[in-house]
A = this chain, B = another copy of it.
Amino acid sequence: MSGIGTLEELRTRLAAFAAERDWEQFHSPKNLSMALAAESGELLEHFRWLSEAQSLDLPEATREEVALEIADVLLFLVRLADRLGIDPLQAAARKLELNARKYPVAKSRGRATKYDRL
């Protein structure tokens, strides 16, 4: 199998993967949001007992496992967006713009405070 260069390519590959297995019936947005959250939970499992410093300096085997969990989250995220006809990169660009307004550099520098309390 060759590599995957873009999110769009990943979207197509996942749609084919599901179609071949007749899995569309399971892939409602509701179910996919559950799968996505379940995989996010597996990421937490890797990090829950680590210090922040340790989480930045993972043993190679753990880093490998974490990479595959990140992949799982991405797969379900792309699949969910596809089923809803949402373009994730477009949505991300829009969100980034909103965040830039909610968190102006001057007010949020060095502070993790939520925007509505800045």
Contacts and interface: CB of A to CB of B under 8 A. Distances in A.
Interface of A: 1, 3-7, 10, 13-14, 17, 20-23, 25-26, 28-31, 33-56, 58, 63, 66-68, 70-75, 77, 80-81, 83-84, 86, 88-100, 103, 105, 108-110, 112
A25 to B, nearest CB: 7
Nearest to A98: B68
Contacts of A26: 49, 112
Of the listed residues A21, A34, A93, the one surrounded by the most CB atoms of chain B closer than 10 A to its CB is A34
20 contacts: A4-B92, A10-B96, A20-B109, A22-B110, A23-B112, A28-B56, A30-B50, A31-B48, A31-B52, A34-B47, A34-B48, A36-B73, A37-B37, A37-B41, A40-B41, A41-B44, A51-B52, A68-B91, A70-B84, A70-B91
A55 B52 CA distance: 14
Please classify the interface of chain A as helix (H, G, I), strand (E, B), loop, or mixed, using the class held by over half of its residues: helix
A16 to B, nearest CB: 10
